[in-house]
């Protein structure tokens, strides 16, 4: 089964040049396969940095979350959701591994929110024309990204993964734990973590999507605002075997949760954009502008 890259390509072109979003440089088609050429991220995955560094301070974790929340805020304001936010899709552009060099990558499961008539939902369109049930679904889609960011923050702060005890946990067991509510934060590593950080983690991992903060609300959270006064002492230190287990568990955890169906790759003429253009050609005198 092949995945239709149309949506991913459209999104990457829309956000080309936006900080902390991977840049699409070229597209090639060869032997019925489509190759997307992006900037090379030489710094590696965010989770690999945990393995090398062994721990993060609250100040370091805050700087990372601020960059990611700011990037999600840009996407969400333009009615785009990533839907596959995980450490392996967050890469450093270079070996310096500064938070500002983090990039969100792999938009293969990303989605441009559309109204029932198929038109892209811009902020203006949403405010004026969207039905309440459409707005509710839009909020739910965005909340999925926030939940994933909460899992990432939990892992950075504690060196553990919420709702999972090992890389071989069955998906149904993980989902049962999630449905029981946010984690209890009883491990010893949480004792030295600020209440503000713990409150933010729990709010992002709320089982009710409507109760999770938006990306904009995360950016205005006291923990983010007061980052200069946060602890510079790491709450834990991973040994190499532990770090390898953490990485394997994170990979297994997000793999278990991935449930979005992949779409069969169809001819270019079958894409939504091609159909829109074909339809516009049959309507002479129509002065409306279409946008992608």
Task: Inform me whether the pLDDT recorded for 11 exceeds 90.
Answer: yes
**Structure letter (DSSP) for residue 86:** -
Residue 100 has a pLDDT of 96
| Mean pLDDT of the 172-193 span | 86
Could you tell me the strand order of the sheet in which 90-92 lies? Answer: 44-45, 90-92, 102-104
- Distance of alpha carbon 3 from alpha carbon 265, whole angstroms: 5
Task: Inform me whether the pLDDT recorded for 1 exceeds 70.
Answer: no
Residue 14 has a pLDDT of 96
Using DSSP's 3-state secondary structure scheme, residue 30 falls into: strand
- Helical axes 195-204 vs 58-77, angle rounded to 10°: 30
Q: Of 92, 61, 99, 87, nearest to 161 (Cα)?
A: 87
Instruction: Categorize the per-residue pLDDT at 63 as very low, low, confident or very high, splitting at 50, 70 and 90.
Output: very high
How buried is residue 102: exposed, middle or buried, by Cβ count under 10 Å (0-12/13-18/19+)? buried
- Distance of alpha carbon 124 from alpha carbon 130, whole angstroms: 10
Q: What is the pLDDT of residues 185-198, one digit of tens each?
A: 988 889 889 999 99
Which of 126, 169, 198, 206 is the catalytic position?
A: 126
Residues 150 and 236: beta-carbon distance below 8 Å: no
- Distance of alpha carbon 212 from alpha carbon 210, whole angstroms: 6
**% residues pLDDT > 90 (the chain):** 42
Which of 6, 20, 49, 84 is the catalytic position?
A: 84
Q: Is 221 a catalytic residue?
A: no
- Distance of alpha carbon 16 from alpha carbon 199, whole angstroms: 34
Which of 6, 20, 71, 89 is the catalytic position?
A: 89
Q: Is 86 a catalytic residue?
A: yes
- Distance of alpha carbon 82 from alpha carbon 111, whole angstroms: 6
Residues 108 and 8: beta-carbon distance below 8 Å: yes
Q: Is 106 a catalytic residue?
A: yes
Which of 20, 106, 155, 221 is the catalytic position?
A: 106
| Mean pLDDT of the 93-104 span | 95
Residue 271 has a pLDDT of 44
Q: What is the pLDDT of residues 255-292, one digit of tens each?
A: 776 653 443 334 444 444 445 444 444 444 444 343 33
Residue 281 has a pLDDT of 44
Please, what are the domains in the chain? 43-254 (1.10.510.10)
Q: Of 187, 181, 185, 228, nearest to 208 (Cα)?
A: 181
Specify which of 28-32, 145-149, 162-166 reaches the highest per-range mean pLDDT.
145-149
- CA 112 vs. chain centroid, Å, equals 14
Q: Is 168 a catalytic residue?
A: no
């Amino acid at each position: 089964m092949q995945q239709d890259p149309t949506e991913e390509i459209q999104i990457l072109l829309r956000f080309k040049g936006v900080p902390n979003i991977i840049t699409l440089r070229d597209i090639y088609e060869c032997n019925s396969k489509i190759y997307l050429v992006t900037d090379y991220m030489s710094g590696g995955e965010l989770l690999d940095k945990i393995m090398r560094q062994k721990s993060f301070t609250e100040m370091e974790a805050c700087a990372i979350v601020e960059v990611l929340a700011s990037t999600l805020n840009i996407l969400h304001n333009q009615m785009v959701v990533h839907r596959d936010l995980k450490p392996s899709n967050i890469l450093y552009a270079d070996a310096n591994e500064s938070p500002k060099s983090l990039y969100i990558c792999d938009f293969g499961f990303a989605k441009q929110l559309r109204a029932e008539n198929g038109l892209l939902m811009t902020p203006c369109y949403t405010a004026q024309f969207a039905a309440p049930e459409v707005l509710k679904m839009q909020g739910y889609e965005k909340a999925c990204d926030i939940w994933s960011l909460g899992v990432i923050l939990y892992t950075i702060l504690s060196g553990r993964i919420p709702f999972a005890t090992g890389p071989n946990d069955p998906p149904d067991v993980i989902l049962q734990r999630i449905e029981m509510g946010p984690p209890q934060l009883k491990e010893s590593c949480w004792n030295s973590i600020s209440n503000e950080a713990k409150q933010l983690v729990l709010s992002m991992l709320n089982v009710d999507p409507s109760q999770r903060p938006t990306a904009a609300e995360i950016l205005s959270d006291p923990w983010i605002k007061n980052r200069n006064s946060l602890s510079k002492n790491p709450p834990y230190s991973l040994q190499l075997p532990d770090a390898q287990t953490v990485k394997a568990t994170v990979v297994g955890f997000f793999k278990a949760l991935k449930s979005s169906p992949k779409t069969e790759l169809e001819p270019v003429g079958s894409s939504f954009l091609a159909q829109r253009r074909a339809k516009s050609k049959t309507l002479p005198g129509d002065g409306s502008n279409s946008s992608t």
